[in-house]
């Protein structure tokens, strides 16, 4: 079978590769701590399981609105207001099957060949593959422990060109745990406004 050329642009997930390796070592009886796919180390709370069971038993199993049911969007808008002080209308909210799905959709609709996307390294591995799949060029700003794995506004400005479409900001960061301060984020926001740069905040 001949696959589309774009499938050659992407590489297998190193995270899943590490997870498979850990499982293989464990199967050999080797005691190993896995730093691959990250999942909570606790069971799904029972009130969540019970609501899911109740919904299934009530026949809530049919198609729903693609962008999310109105009750959920309203609840998310209320959460954003209550916990984050953010004002968003339900119509401005889209529900997806997790962050990966949202990021993929956003990058696919925003980026294409000829665009550049700025990303700080080390990064969560899927960003790079999504950028490549969109046809855009990843522009990586390297960070190190010495600068607390942070990029500076000056470093960002140095990478912004007319082709720059998007900045992906991941704070707190996977994998470093780095977190930008509010003034640091404000400096990035100012550059984004001045340079007409879109920002995905993950």
Ligand X SMILES: Cc1ncc(COP(=O)(O)O)c(C=O)c1O
Distance of closest approach, residue 1 Cβ to ligand X, in angstroms: 28
Task: Return the residue nearest ligand X (CB atom).
Answer: 98
Distance of closest approach, residue 55 Cβ to ligand X, in angstroms: 20
What is the layout of strands, in order, in the sheet containing 198-201? 137-142, 116-121, 164-169, 198-201
Distance of closest approach, residue 106 Cβ to ligand X, in angstroms: 12
Q: Which is nearer to ligand X, 184 or 202 (CB)?
A: 202
Q: Which is nearer to ligand X, 19 or 195 (CB)?
A: 19
> Do 167 and 199 form a contact (C-beta atoms < 8 A)?
yes
Q: Which is nearer to ligand X, 99 or 193 (CB)?
A: 99
Distance of closest approach, residue 40 Cβ to ligand X, in angstroms: 11
Q: Which is nearer to ligand X, 10 or 193 (CB)?
A: 10
CA distance readout (Å), 133 to 14, 37, 112, 160, 164: 17, 22, 9, 21, 17
Binding residues (CB under 6 A) for ligand X: these are 38, 98-100, 124, 170, 174, 202
Convert 26-52 to b/e letters by CB count within 10 Å (16 or more is b): eeeeeeeeeebeeeeeeeeeeeeeeee
């Amino acid at each position: 079978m001949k696959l589309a050329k774009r499938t050659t642009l992407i590489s297998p997930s190193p995270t899943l590769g590490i997870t498979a390796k850990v499982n293989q070592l464990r199967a050999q009886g080797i005691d190993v701590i896995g730093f691959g796919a990250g999942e909570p180390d606790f069971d799904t709370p029972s009130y969540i399981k019970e609501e899911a069971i109740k919904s299934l038993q009530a026949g809530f199993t049919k198609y729903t609105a693609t962008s999310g049911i109105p009750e959920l969007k309203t609840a998310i808008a209320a959460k954003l207001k209550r916990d984050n002080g953010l004002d968003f209308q339900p119509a401005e909210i889209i529900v997806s099957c997790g962050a990966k799905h949202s990021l993929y959709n956003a990058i696919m609709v925003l980026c294409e060949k000829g665009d550049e996307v700025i990303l700080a390294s080390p990064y969560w591995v899927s960003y790079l593959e999504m950028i490549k799949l969109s046809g855009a060029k990843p522009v990586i700003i390297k960070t190190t422990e010495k600068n607390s794995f942070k990029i500076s506004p000056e470093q960002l400005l140095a990478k912004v060109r007319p082709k720059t479409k998007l900045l992906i900001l991941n704070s707190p960061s996977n994998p470093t745990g780095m977190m930008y301060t509010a003034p640091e984020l404000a400096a990035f926001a100012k550059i984004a406004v001045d340079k007409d740069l879109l920002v995905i905040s993950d």
